[in-house]
Amino acid sequence: MDSTLLGDEALDAIALLREAPERTCVLSDFDGTLAPIVDDPASSVPLPGAMEVLHRLARRFTSVAVVSGRPAAFLAAALGVGSGASRLGAYGLYGAERVGPDGEVVIDPETEEWAASVTAAADELRDVVPPGVVIERKRTAATVHWRSAPEHELVALDLARGAADRHGLELRTGRMSAELVPAHAMDKGAVVHMLASEARAACFLGDDAGDVPAFRALAELSRTAGTKVVRVAVASRESPPALLGEADVVLDGPKAALAFLERLAAEP
């Protein structure tokens, strides 16, 4: 554990969250938070020790889960969710998929109805995007990545927007990417509100625009239910201003996020 990565605000937040672990919810994003951002999404892996600390937290805190735009099956494999190691949860595609206690992926039936539209949009984009732009196909979402070809950002974004419009999908932008999702699709805020609604305290760690709804869900719980909340921005040079502006704690990258979680999981 490298506590030198944590400032006073982070240490104060950890102390607050450790007051009543049996009534505290610990939630986190995956890419850019538990795992460094990489050019090829398929090659992404969590930082060494991240899986272990999440399971330690899940054995002590009332609810611990990863909420990500990744497919739930990917999260289950990367983090050992459903393996019996703990009650660690995983919610993929912003909550449209979740991993059950037995490791089985459960898909929201309303979202599943959009699978054909997503497939058609992804196939269309694969045929027209410039070299270096990657189409990541998920069951009920598709992501256009231009990290390996930043010079094509405007073209890739325009193509993604056009495909979304033609197939009745929504477009969500992120770090050097844009995601096509079903119209009125669930976002991280809805999942966070559901998981933390009965908690005395809750935190969420995230790094991108898709995590802003999670921060806002916690802010709403603070106002309406008196929940003690900690919104942790895992910062980089690509951090959206909205995320940083709504954070209670700002950490410098995934290594600091892991240090935060390790300190939170340490024995009293």
Render pLDDT for 163-205 as a digit per residue (tens, 0 to 9).
999 999 999 988 899 999 988 778 999 999 999 999 999 999 9
pLDDT confidence of residue 267: 79
The alpha carbon of residue 76 and the mean position of all alpha carbons in its chain are separated, in whole angstroms, by: 14
The alpha carbon of residue 214 and the mean position of all alpha carbons in its chain are separated, in whole angstroms, by: 9
Give the residue among 65, 61, 44 at the shortest CA–CA distance from 206. Answer: 65
The DSSP output letter for 31 is B
- Residue given tokens 């979402």 in the structure block: 141
pLDDT confidence of residue 180: 93
- Residue given tokens 């050019």 in the structure block: 39
Mode of pairing for the β-strands spanning 97-99 and 105-107: antiparallel
Helix ranges restricted to H, 72-200: 72-79, 109-112, 115-126, 153-166, 188-196
pLDDT confidence of residue 2: 60
Mode of pairing for the β-strands spanning 228-235 and 249-252: parallel
Q: Do residues 214 and 192 make contact, with C-beta atoms less than 8 angstroms apart? A: yes
DSSP helix, strand, coil percent of the chain (3-state; round to 5): 45, 20, 35
Stated pTM of the model: 0.89
Q: Do residues 234 and 254 make contact, with C-beta atoms less than 8 angstroms apart? A: yes
Domains of the chain by start residue, with CATH: 23-37+45-108+186-265 (3.40.50.1000), 114-182 (3.30.70.1020)
Exposure string over 8-26, b if 16+ CB within 10 A, otherwise e: eebeebbebbbeebebbbb
Mode of pairing for the β-strands spanning 177-182 and 142-145: antiparallel
Mode of pairing for the β-strands spanning 142-145 and 134-137: antiparallel
List the structure tokens of 133.
């732009």
Give the residue among 15, 3, 44 at the shortest CA–CA distance from 207. Answer: 44
Taking the alpha carbons of 78, 239, 40, 192 in that order, is the dihedral positive or negative? Answer: positive
**CA distance linking residue 167 with residue 134, whole number of Å:** 19
pLDDT confidence of residue 111: 81
Q: Which residues in the chain land under pLDDT 70?
A: 1-3
